[in-house]
A and B are shown apart, each in its own frame.
Chain A
Amino acid sequence: MPLRLTALAAALMLAGSVHAADRIKVGFVSTLSGPGAGLGVDIRDGFNLAIKQLDGKLGGLPAEVIVADDQQSPDVAKQAVDKFLKKDKVDFMTGIVFSNIMLAVGPTVFENQTFYISANAGPSQYAGEQCNPFFFNVAWQNDNLHEAVGKVVQDKGYKNVVIVTPNYPGGKDAVSGFKRYYAPKEAPSGGKGKVAEEIYTKLGQLDYAAELAQIRSIKPDALFFFLPGGMGINFVKQFVAAGLSRDTQLFAPGFSADEDVIKAVGAPMMGMFNSSHWAHDMDNAENRRFVADFQKEYGRMPSLYASQGYDAAFMMDAGVRGVKGKVEDKAALKKALEAKNFKSVRGDFKFNSNHYPVQNYYLRVIGKDSSGRITNRLMGTIFTNHADAYVAQCKMK
């Protein structure tokens, strides 16, 4: 009898908790200081712009965004996440830039049954075997942009390529993504090119003198690098200063060739090809509004990171709207998020069964626009409705 009473009480309590919440709390952990800060700041600004356009609400309920800086350290991020989950009891989390940090805090977030909407980090682990119902990525899987660059380098007929990337999970994903489409054996298109050297640097390294000397001795015809944030800024500057740009064509995913890097490096970036799922000159109503409002609000051009933060907010908005504010009903909220009931600034896309996007990837080139400003220009489509390579390994519970 007492047992049944307890069960009844528990059932009542559970039922009671499925009321509509009175507000939506979002825990935003990101890298806001150090060389990776530009990325986190852009994601945050994009996210906040969306909240502002939604009149400070998510799904019609007042939104409260709590921001913490992870200082690009998994330990600091873990502390911030623990506080968000236990003390603030947030409804959503987002913001993490680097995959090693995402992998460090992910288990805690999922165990707490809190939805994490990734606006950047898309590690292969969470796309494949460790995929989780509480993890969504609104941007891409880490490999995707690199796969697109690999395809371009392959199609353009380059034969002797050097790869430079930091030694961390995102870097490993970059190399496997690139080689999936550029390499003799692995490439589906089956090319004749070779990877002359894979250079792994320390994450956060700023001086590339030793690596550049090595590249010079190899004399590659193309160089593919994935160095997000300040690392890429320094690499391109030092690459040009060493006189390597005369013989070697640079290729990079959109991360290393967006507004943050262009602003810092300037003219030496001209003519560089890069891949992205989004571009500031994409012609759709949502994107025109986003790019115009972002410039008005912050006085600078948005980067792809900003577009991802912006989309993450609209995705939460659609999710909360889909369950009419009853965010405690996790199963219903998951369905509402999977339905993707919002219009992205990159145009249409849908979620795969592993909660990663199936979408188009585009080629961009850096050049001067009509007003003489150095920026990216959309060149064409590399992949149409492209899914990641890990989805088959995902058995979503």
Chain B
Amino acid sequence: MTQLVLEQALNGLQFGLMLFLLAAGLTLVFGIMDCINLAHGSLYMVGAYFVAAAAQAADSFWIGLGAGVAGAAVLGLVLELSLFRQLYRRDHLSQVLATFGLILIANEAVRMIWGAQPLLLNPPEALSGPVEIGNFFYPAYRLVIIAFGLGVAGLLYLVVARSRVGMWVRAGAANREMTEALGVNVQGLFTAVFVFGAALCALAGGLLGPLLAVQIGMGESVLILAFVVIIIGGIGSIRGALVGSLIVGTVDTLGRALLPTLLRAALPADAAATLGPALASILIYLLMAAILFFRPQGLFPARA
């Protein structure tokens, strides 16, 4: 029983931390620049392809991960300078249209370069088995993902809460005009935040590649979850993104693990088998609706 609870808790943590890598960049871009970036998921996809391609070329997962993240950061820089800079001052509809166009372009570009079939990305050989601690088993690679996620979360906390740049970021999220008036180079700050967000996307894509599949359209489903996370957490708040990610990760994992069993106790087996998975997959949206009902600004709004 301890094994089950602990294992599911770690699963929820692992899923939540990966969502956090995506949501952190998204919430900053949305919160500070007031820009809805639907193509955030495409950065995740392209980043994963970069990592997979580099890992195959170098025959090493870690070199691939480093090169892929660097490549995605460069792509983020190019996108920010060429496209997003024009979008910040426009209304949300233009941003949605332009970034939706980017999704289509990214999907077709990936199809042209790497083909329609998923790329295979394998974890390093040493991490492909389970870790044994006494009677407790857990996949080694998932532990590495958790370590990366915690590391990034810690780093972000230090930068955002303790450094001058972090202060600018928080100030920008709370009140952009006032920050500009105080002489902060908001333009440069925007670029840095966007590039950093792109790098985090590629990190998440590269780390999840061996667990999931590196394929076209992988960004869209996860983008929806990332938006759920930042809405639950409060737009523009890193702390909200972290808490929101962990809530969504845990609720999704527990829902999948427990709901079918719970329903079986109350309903006939046939109905439970149909209802359980369906209910589990909408559980986080129910959660989002409930949180929005009580706290329309999210749990930790940046502009309180």
Q: List residues of A whose CB falls within 8 A of some B CB.
A: 32-35, 37-38, 41, 69, 167, 198-202, 206-207, 209-211, 213-214, 216-217, 230, 233-234, 238, 240-243, 264
Q: Which of A202, A209, A211 contacts B14 (CB 8 A)?
A: A209
For chain B, residues 246 to 290, give those with C-beta under 8 angstroms from any C-beta of chain A. 253-254, 256-257, 260, 273-274, 276-278, 281
Task: Identify the 5 closest CB pairs spanning chains A and B, nearest first.
Answer: A243-B130, A33-B116, A209-B11, A213-B7, A241-B139
Are B253 and A216 in contact, with the CB atoms below 8 A? Answer: no
Are A210 and B256 in contact, with the CB atoms below 8 A? Answer: yes
Are B118 and A35 in contact, with the CB atoms below 8 A? Answer: yes
> Does B113 have its Cβ within 8 Å of any Cβ on chain A?
no
> Does B213 have its Cβ within 8 Å of any Cβ on chain A?
yes
Q: Which of B4, B128, B138, B253 contacts A217 (CB 8 A)?
A: B4
Task: Kindly report which residue of chain A lies nearest to residue B18, judged by CB atoms.
Answer: A207
Are A216 and B4 in contact, with the CB atoms below 8 A? Answer: yes
A35 to B217, CA, bound (A): 10
Are B129 and A213 in contact, with the CB atoms below 8 A? Answer: no
Are A35 and B277 in contact, with the CB atoms below 8 A? Answer: no
Q: Which of B1, B15, B254, B277 contacts A202 (CB 8 A)?
A: B277
A34 to B15, CA, bound (A): 22
> Does B137 have its Cβ within 8 Å of any Cβ on chain A?
yes
A35 to B132, CA, bound (A): 31
How many whole Å from A258's CB to the nearest CB in chain B? 16
Are B116 and A199 in contact, with the CB atoms below 8 A? Answer: no
Q: List residues of B whose CB falls within 8 A of some A CB.
A: 1, 3-4, 7-8, 11, 14-15, 111, 116-118, 120, 123, 128-130, 132, 137-142, 211-213, 215-217, 253-254, 256-257, 260, 273-274, 276-278, 281
Task: Kindly report which residue of chain A lies nearest to residue B255, judged by CB atoms.
Answer: A210
Are B4 and A167 in contact, with the CB atoms below 8 A? Answer: no
Contacts of B137 in A (CB 8 A): 216, 242-243
How many whole Å from A298's CB to the nearest CB in chain B? 13
Task: Kindly report which residue of chain B lies nearest to residue A268, judged by CB atoms.
Answer: B128
Are A209 and B4 in contact, with the CB atoms below 8 A? Answer: no
Are B118 and A230 in contact, with the CB atoms below 8 A? Answer: yes
Task: Kindly report which residue of chain A lies nearest to residue B278, judged by CB atoms.
Answer: A167
A40 to B138, CA, bound (A): 34
Given A41-B117, A69-B116, A213-B257, also A241-B141 (CB < 8 A): yes
- 22 pairs across A/B with beta carbons < 8 Å? A34-B118, A38-B117, A202-B281, A207-B15, A207-B211, A209-B14, A209-B142, A210-B8, A210-B256, A213-B11, A214-B257, A216-B3, A230-B215, A238-B211, A240-B128, A240-B129, A241-B129, A241-B130, A242-B139, A243-B130, A243-B132, A243-B139
How many whole Å from B8's CB to the nearest CB in chain A? 5
How many whole Å from B88's CB to the nearest CB in chain A? 34
How many whole Å from B100's CB to the nearest CB in chain A? 18
Contacts of A213 in B (CB 8 A): 3-4, 7-8, 11, 257
Given A213-B257, A241-B140, also A206-B130 (CB < 8 A): no
Are A34 and B215 in contact, with the CB atoms below 8 A? Answer: yes
Task: Kindly report which residue of chain A lies nearest to residue B211, judged by CB atoms.
Answer: A207
Q: Which of B139, B211, B215 contacts A35 (CB 8 A)?
A: B215
Q: Which of B129, B213, B215 contacts A243 (CB 8 A)?
A: B129
Contacts of B278 in A (CB 8 A): 167
A240 to B257, CA, bound (A): 19
Contacts of A230 in B (CB 8 A): 118, 213, 215
Given A217-B1, A241-B130, also A234-B211 (CB < 8 A): yes
Are B277 and A214 in contact, with the CB atoms below 8 A? Answer: no
Contacts of A240 in B (CB 8 A): 128-129
Are A214 and B129 in contact, with the CB atoms below 8 A? Answer: no
Contacts of B111 in A (CB 8 A): 33
Are A37 and B257 in contact, with the CB atoms below 8 A? Answer: no
Contacts of A214 in B (CB 8 A): 4, 257
A325 to B5, CA, bound (A): 65
Are B213 and A200 in contact, with the CB atoms below 8 A? Answer: no
Contacts of A234 in B (CB 8 A): 211-213
Contacts of B3 in A (CB 8 A): 213, 216-217
Q: Which of B1, B8, B14, B273 contacts A200 (CB 8 A)?
A: B273
How many whole Å from B207's CB to the nearest CB in chain A? 12
How many whole Å from B159's CB to the nearest CB in chain A? 29
Given A209-B11, A213-B11, also A200-B118 (CB < 8 A): no
A200 to B159, CA, bound (A): 43
Contacts of A207 in B (CB 8 A): 15, 211-212
How many whole Å from B234's CB to the nearest CB in chain A? 27
Known: A200-B273, A240-B128, A242-B137. 17 other contacts (CB 8 A): A34-B215, A34-B216, A37-B118, A69-B116, A200-B260, A202-B281, A207-B212, A209-B15, A210-B256, A211-B257, A213-B11, A217-B3, A230-B118, A234-B212, A241-B139, A241-B141, A243-B130
